[in-house]
Amino acid sequence: MNIENKLAMITGTKRIGRVVGKALAEKGADVVLTYNHSKEEAESAAREIRQKGRRAMALQADVSRSSDVQALVDRVSQELGKIHILINMASIYSSKPFEETTEKDWDANININLKSVFLCAKAAVPGMKAEGGGRIINFADWIAASGRPRYKGYLPYYVSKVGVIGLTEILALELAPYNILVNAIAPGPILAPPDLSIEEDLEVRKATPLGRWGGENEIAKIVLSLIETDFITGECIRVDGGRHIR
């Protein structure tokens, strides 16, 4: 798919999403940035995209709610047109021992990390079909893509991200006849959390064969590649500096 003059919608635009949105704009796409709480970051990113000469909107939505998602897509369609590219990045991530994990924790992870992917695809696909095709890129996790859990304390998160990979595969099968390609990205150590200690940072670097954090641009490169490809679908690509082979 040629990215120029296409409309992309990104859910979850804090940090990495901002960089992905700007990379799409540089390729000539118009961009919708959605957020739940990070209004300032999303609006700032939208301004930067408009400065590049592309159309951009920052819209609030709880993408785990079907009513919010449908209202979001309807507004985008009315103001900017049909969505050609959907990038599902909205996610939560936290650690808690199994004994302390509650039903609320489970529901939050499943709803935000997995259900939102289904809801956004469900709302965006009719427009993609009308346009003759599209691209959906979901975000999993390098550990989920490795086929086994590696760390305790992330039960609902891990299950939700394994679900994203399964959903990606079945959506790719369901939507292939409509020229809608569906893939997933499984990030590893891309950005160090702001509260990471020096010791923890060194531990991550030591555990990563390439010995460093990847940086947001590595994700943007893969996003662009998965949009531009016309023959890769149902795939989950790890961007983890080799973590999975150690």
User: Does the pLDDT of residue 92 top 90, yes or no?
Assistant: yes
What is the number of alpha carbons within 13 Å of residue 10 lying toward its C-beta? Answer: 27
Query: Could you report the per-residue pLDDT of 100-124, keeping only the tens digit for each?
Result: 999 999 999 999 999 999 999 999 9
Higher pLDDT, residue 246 or 59: 59
Which amino acid is residue 14, in one-letter code?
K
The whole-number pLDDT of residue 195 equals 84
Domain architecture of the chain: domains with CATH: 7-245 (3.40.50.720)
Query: Could you report the per-residue pLDDT of 131-187, keeping only the tens digit for each?
Result: 999 999 999 999 999 988 989 999 999 999 999 999 999 999 999 999 999 999 999
Query: Could you report the per-residue pLDDT of 19-61, keeping only the tens digit for each?
Result: 999 999 999 999 999 999 889 999 999 999 999 999 999 999 9
Structure tokens of 174?
A: 């369901």
CB under 8 Å to 72, separation ≥6 — which residues?
34, 59, 61, 63, 123
Rg (CA), the chain: 17
Measured CA distances, 70 to 32, 63, 66, 75, 184 (Å): 14, 9, 6, 9, 22
CA nearest 234: which of 164, 187, 148? Answer: 164
Coil vs helix vs strand at 73 = helix
The whole-number pLDDT of residue 200 equals 92
The whole-number pLDDT of residue 165 equals 98
The whole-number pLDDT of residue 143 equals 95
**Residue 211: alpha-carbon gap to chain centroid:** 25
What is the number of alpha carbons within 13 Å of residue 126 lying toward its C-beta? Answer: 7
Active site amino acids:
157
Q: What is the mean pLDDT of residues 175-201?
A: 94
